[in-house]
Amino acid sequence: MSARAQDQLERLLLALPHLADDTELPLSVLADRVGTDVSTLLRDLEALTTRDRDIAGFVESVELYLGPGHVGARTSHFKRPMRLTRAEVAALDLGLGLLMLEKPIDERAPIDRARRLLRAAAVSAPPVVQGGAARTQETPALPVAVEPVPDALLERFGRLWEAHESRQAVRLRYQRADADAADERVVQPWAIVRAHHHVYVVGWCTTVTAMRVFRLDRILEVALDGASFDVPADFDVDALVRNGRLFVSDAPNDTLVVRFSPAIARWIAEREHVALDTDGSVTVSWPLADDAWAVRHVLQYGPDATVLAPARIVTAVRDVLGRLLPHP
């Protein structure tokens, strides 16, 4: 294909999506959107429709309607532009950026590469013709910037992985979400897993003599303790990950059951992969590992969430609301 024919094909592939769904546009408007002038656009359209020696019964796949200064088309083909619009580039970057924010540090590299490719493609936007003069399109602003992972966090992750692989206990400074200051723990890292957009260390905490879970971004310091350990034969980390979430509890068979009103049920059902009830509501069950988490989780939905079980969570939610609401 010659350079002239290739340019003409590109202009047609850019023009036809604007005429989809029986849309009719002024020739000047369509030429401006394509990045050419009216006379060039008319020659392109004529080349598309003017052919010799069509066989009998030939049916046009693309029908063009040229009027005084206007053009329309009827076709089931070519309804997508040859290149992405600026809004589409920005939307793609927004989606990739949000996905990257949700992923743990060990899964961000492929998304970062995809965003770099997207940025490189967005830089070389071709010029367009407007008012008889060529102008360069501005590169769309990329709306989500993910901060690089701190080197200190990567270093802590590396030490924890080394301790897990070599079966050595570690000393941690850990900042709990409900604590004002970090505390020190001695932990045997039995497993390092990803669940619910975070990386966790699962293991035996000799400080409290119980199995515990530590979120990586809340670990402030890591140092090898020197003591060795063996992972119990009956330890199964896969049994702790349920529906993408990690649960460790002294009462693993306890279950939180919550009914969500029809006002928000559709979004809850989509997120939790459950079916709606006949009245439009949805009922969801979770393994209950932390009563305080259950109360916080329910209260964030306000009147649209009702606890069905267990009874102690119903009482706990009522107690919290009773303390918050003014007394008559």
Omega before residue 310 within 30° of 0, cis? yes
DSSP 197: T
Rounded to 5 degrees, φ, ψ at 146 are -90, 125
Domain boundaries, the chain: 3-75, 86-136, 151-246, 255-324
Give yes or no for a contact between 67 and 53, defined as CB atoms under 8 angstroms apart.
no
Contact at 8 Å (CB) between 192 and 201?
yes
Per the DSSP assignment, residues forming a β-bridge with 284 are 258
d(CA 289, CA 252): 7
- C-alpha to C-alpha distance for 158 and 149, rounded to whole angstroms: 13
3-state secondary structure of 280: coil
pLDDT tens over the chain, length 328 residues: 456 777 887 888 778 777 766 677 888 888 888 888 888 888 888 877 666 555 444 555 667 777 777 777 766 666 555 566 666 777 788 778 778 777 777 778 888 888 888 877 765 545 554 555 555 555 444 444 545 667 788 888 889 999 999 999 999 999 887 778 889 999 999 999 887 667 889 989 998 888 888 888 899 999 998 899 999 888 887 777 665 566 665 444 578 899 999 999 998 888 888 899 999 999 998 777 678 878 888 998 989 999 999 999 999 999 988 887 766 5
CA distances from 159 to 192, 237, 241 (A): 12, 20, 23
Buried-state track 257-282, b at ≥16 Cβ within 10 A, e below 16:
ebbbbeeebeebbeeeeeebeeeebb
Of 98, 125, 101, 96, whose CA–CA distance to 113 is shortest? Answer: 96
Residues 102 and 57: their CA atoms lie apart, in Å, by 57
Can you give the length of the chain in residues?
A: 328
Domain 3-75 has CATH 1.10.3470: no
CB 165 within 8 A of CB 203: no
Q: Would you state the pLDDT for residue 322?
A: 85
Q: For domain 151-246, give the CATH number.
A: 2.30.30
